[in-house]
Amino acid sequence: MVAPRNIAIDNTSEALRSGGTFFLETFGCQMNDHDSEKVAGVLLSRGYRQVETPDAASLVLYNTCSIREKAAQKVFSRLGEYRTKQAAGQIIGVLGCVAQQEGENIFQRAPWVSLVCGSASYSKLPELLSQLEAGNQRVTGLDTDTDETFETPVTRRDNPWRAYLTIIEGCDKACAYCVVPFTRGPERSRASDSVLREVRELVDLGYSEVQLLGQTVNSYADPSARRIRFSDLLLAVADVPGIRRVRFTTSHPRDFGADIVAALEAQPKLCNHVHLPVQSGSPRILRAMTRTYTREEYLEKIAMLRGAKCEIAITTDVIVGFPGETEDDFAETLSLLEGVRYDSLFSFKYSPRPNTPSLSMPDAISEEEKSRRLTILQEVQREIQSRRNATLVGNTFELLVGNKSRRENQWSGHTACNRVVNFASQERALLGTYVQVRATGAGPNSLVGEHVP
Ligand code: SAM
Ligand code: SF4
């Protein structure tokens, strides 16, 4: 265990002690977004006020992602902009995966930073803040050997209609390319009673849609005496009075079982969308990635989803240019896309990350070649989505309206299967309501439609 440490004392904490203000910028995935919502909750409950610009803040925080190199670099370029701020009395902090990965090196690269706290140590934040408020100038929280989850009495949520809720933190899988097990620590599930209590609180706050989060959400293992399975937790969340939609992401193919499909079939409040990252269609590359399933096993899970009594949208993540990926391996990924016909996907060029096993694998693919494969893959998928979305024209969907366009009478929302639909309506107050919309047109990434009053 590395205890939080302090190195020097100065007077920059004066601003914190007398009713501090904070600015918090987040880079990365939904889990990072939600961590930031909880960090904001911790700060607000200590009397801090959130401000819109870093210049207006006594405490400037960056919550960072290090999944790919670009995201990590972005943080250092942001920190560069803050070189002079410490002298002006501002306190700068780095949170999240880059903090965990770089640790105290951040103090060397950016000596004006005072707080470095990794994602696995957020439960220590109140203690670290107390140290900053007491005048300590360099404070770190970098443990990963924790069994605690980050639960906060207050969470300041950004989206007024869809609430994120982390049910499992960290990751015990060991994909050869991935930093998450290093930056977020081991898998820790939150007790089912605590999850359900928060869902009831969310309903009281006016939320009707919740999204359960975890790097491998379906590896959930209830630590309480109830020991309920993930699929039973989904059903229990859907049963909370006032809940209308339940989403969950990300599912790991290895732990994706028939009980989850049965739950989706049985309970219409469970949204008919599963995000099931495949990463590659090549059996050889899947083995090299240590993904723990074969192409065949993955396709069996897809067949199970396609065989469900209700239609279920399937989305995925794909990495191109993993070390040693040949033209044939890449062709197998394309053939998998054609076979599965995903509703949408996130695609990434392989990015070598510190400490990961793939860093020392031979036959690196050039950046140019990775870009070429990414473009081809995205074109293939665009075609698939265009064809798939075109078949939906004429259907009517229920949307949760989340946006009003600047254009007169134009709105947009998400279907249960997580498609975006842009639609026209003469109504005035649709934000946050559920409406019926008939699809009248389709593009590769969204549908257009008209409100069916
Ligand atoms: N836990 C999820 C899973 O197992 O699929 C995904 C977590 S990760 C935050 C999201 C996606 O980033 C991964 O599915 C993968 O496609 C991508 N990713 C992770 N590490 C990467 C790397 N080193 N280079 C490129 N993409 C990466
Ligand atoms: Fe990373 Fe693999 Fe864990 Fe997903 S399952 S977070 S890709 S190690």
Q: How confident is the model at residue 7 (pLDDT cuts 50, 70, 90)?
A: very low
- pLDDT value of position 241: 98
Print burial letters for 205-222: b (CB count within 10 Å at least 16), e (below 16): eebbbbbbbbbbbbbbeb
- pLDDT value of position 453: 84
pTM, full prediction: 0.93
Q: How confident is the model at residue 119 (pLDDT cuts 50, 70, 90)?
A: confident
- pLDDT value of position 151: 86
**pLDDT tens digits along 263-311:** 999 999 999 999 999 999 999 999 999 999 999 999 999 999 999 999 9
- pLDDT value of position 139: 94
Q: How confident is the model at residue 368 (pLDDT cuts 50, 70, 90)?
A: very high
- Taking the CA of 215 as reference, the closest ligand is 1
Of 190, 425, 384, 176, which is closest to residue 291 (Cα–Cα)?
A: 176
Mean pLDDT of the chain: 92
Task: Determine if ligand 2 sits within 6 Å of the CB of residue 175.
Answer: yes
- Taking the CA of 213 as reference, the closest ligand is 1
- pLDDT value of position 12: 56
Residue 432 to residue 345: CA distance in whole angstroms: 26
Residue 65 to residue 97: CA distance in whole angstroms: 5
Kindly report which listed range (77-86, 191-200, 233-242, 290-299) carries the lowest average pLDDT score: 77-86
Q: How confident is the model at residue 344 (pLDDT cuts 50, 70, 90)?
A: very high
Task: For residue 175, give Cα distances in angstroms to 167, 282, 285, 315, 441.
Answer: 21, 15, 11, 19, 40
Q: Is the dihedral of CA 206, 208, 209, 211 positive or negative?
A: positive
Q: What spacing in Å lies between the alpha carbon of 227 and ligand 2's midpoint?
A: 24
Residue 378 to residue 437: CA distance in whole angstroms: 28
Work out the percent of the chain whose per-residue pLDDT is above 90.
75
72 vs 140, which has greater pLDDT?
140
Q: What spacing in Å lies between the alpha carbon of 412 and ligand 1's midpoint?
A: 28
Task: Give Cα 134 to chain centroid, integer Å.
Answer: 33
Q: Which atom of ligand 1 is nearest to the CA of 175?
A: 4
Residue 448 to residue 453: CA distance in whole angstroms: 16
Of all protein residues, the one whose alpha carbon is nearest to atom 25 of ligand 1 is 350
Name the helix (H) or strand (E) containing 141: strand 139-141
Q: Is the pLDDT of residue 411 over 80?
A: yes
